């Protein structure tokens, strides 16, 4: 396995030097993106995202809880991510591994720092009761770039979510009964793009083999043309010139896909609503 892995890495580097990839894409091209919402009947919101053969599910549950002491008028967000063994032979059952924890934090930070959710509008009673958002993400098939797929799935599930009915007198959420009201979200979708560096070449949306050959990784979260978060991974460095180039590329790419992603989400939500009627 090690010999095959090393040979594959060598071939990938040779291809990239010629500006080629195994699937004939340009270095900064993304694979086809598919988004489907409303895949779970029991969650407040849910979504399935496919980028190429990579597949991710995300679900949203809402509950009433006490606010944090340093933000008594704001709702809360807890993001978890599980790398399921069914999605890849390299994932094992058990507690979340460091990779899953890192991915969950990147998704959480990109959403939280973008201002996509108006947390103050989730306050029911200052210092006592607020809505808490539980965002759960699961890998279904890993063919590279799970992180960017997870970020898209999280955004789609949040857009799909409906507030459940809440009996304030009984202090009880009526699960299974929803209002027509969605979460308080802004129009600027948080989009995360992860760049990988292999043999001095930088590429987007790697397939599994390219990802395993990666020597350096950096994730940039954009919303409304502004960088909200940045996460560095692997050992290879990105110099200052490369970073400024990546900022420009990420800004252009997010503008390209943002409208497309928004339309896909809205179309899927309307399709689900029409079925319910």
Give residue limits of the domains in the chain: 23-276
Whole-prediction pTM value?
0.93
d(CA 149, CA 32): 11
Query: What does residue 15 show for φ and ψ, rounded to 5 degrees?
Result: -65, -45
DSSP letter for each residue of 166-220: EETTTTEEEEEEEEEEE--B-SS--EEEEEEEETTEEEES--HHHHHT-SEEEEE
Q: Return the pLDDT at 275.
A: 75
- For 23-276, CATH gives 3.30.230.70
d(CA 17, CA 27): 10
Give me the residue label for tokens 């180039």: 245
Two tokens at 48?
Answer: 């399935």
Q: Which residues pair with 132 in a beta bridge?
A: 63, 76
Q: Return the pLDDT at 33.
A: 97
User: Going by C-beta distance under 8 Å and a sequence separation of 6 or more, which residues neighbour residue 235?
Assistant: 215, 216
d(CA 105, CA 29): 26
Q: Return the pLDDT at 3.
A: 41
| Coil/strand/helix, residue 84 | coil
Give me the residue label for tokens 């760049």: 195
The tens-digit pLDDT sequence of the chain (277 residues) is 334 477 788 888 888 888 889 899 999 999 999 999 999 999 999 999 999 999 999 999 999 999 999 999 999 999 999 999 999 988 999 888 899 999 999 999 999 999 999 999 999 999 999 999 999 999 999 999 999 999 999 999 999 999 999 988 888 888 888 899 999 999 889 999 999 999 899 999 999 999 999 999 999 999 988 999 999 999 899 999 999 999 999 999 998 899 899 999 999 998 877 777 6
d(CA 38, CA 100): 24
**How many whole angstroms from its chain centre is CA 216?**
20
Give me the residue label for tokens 């040979």: 7
Say which DSSP state 4 is in: H
Q: Which residues pair with 49 in a beta bridge?
A: 35, 56
Say which DSSP state 117 is in: B
Q: Quickly count: other Cβ atoms within 10 Å of residue 260's Cβ.
A: 11
d(CA 7, CA 3): 6
In the chain, % helix, strand, coil (3-state, to 5) comes to: 35, 35, 30
CB 207 within 8 A of CB 144: yes
Q: Return the pLDDT at 13.
A: 87
């Amino acid at each position: 396995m090690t010999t095959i892995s090393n040979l594959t890495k060598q071939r990938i580097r040779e291809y990239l030097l010629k500006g080629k990839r195994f699937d004939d894409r340009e270095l900064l091209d993304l694979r086809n993106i598919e988004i489907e919402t409303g895949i779970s009947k029991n969650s407040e919101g849910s979504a399935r995202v496919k980028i190429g053969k990579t597949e991710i599910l995300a679900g949203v549950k809402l509950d009433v809880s006490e606010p944090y002491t340093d933000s008594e008028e704001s709702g809360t967000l807890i993001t978890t991510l599980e790398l399921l063994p069914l999605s890849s032979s390299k994932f094992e059952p058990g507690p979340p591994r460091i990779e899953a924890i890192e991915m969950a934090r990147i998704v959480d930070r990109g959403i939280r720092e973008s201002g996509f959710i108006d947390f103050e509008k989730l306050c029911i009673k200052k210092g006592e009761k607020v809505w808490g958002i539980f965002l759960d993400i699961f890998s279904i098939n890993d063919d590279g770039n799970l992180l960017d797929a997870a970020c898209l799935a999280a955004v789609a599930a949040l857009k799909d979510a409906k507030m459940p009915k809440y009996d304030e007198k009984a202090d009880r959420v009526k699960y299974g009964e929803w209002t027509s009201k969605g979460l308080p979200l802004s129009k600027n979708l948080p989009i995360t793009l992860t760049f990988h560096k292999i043999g001095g070449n930088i590429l987007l949306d790697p397939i599994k083999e390219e990802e395993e050959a990666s020597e350096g990784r950096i994730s940039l979260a954009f919303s409304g043309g502004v960088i909200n978060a940045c996460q560095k991974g692997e050992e290879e460095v990105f110099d200052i010139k490369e970073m400024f180039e990546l900022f420009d590329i990420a800004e252009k790419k997010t503008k390209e896909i943002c409208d497309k992603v928004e339309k896909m989400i809205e179309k899927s939500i309307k399709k689900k609503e029409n079925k319910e009627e």
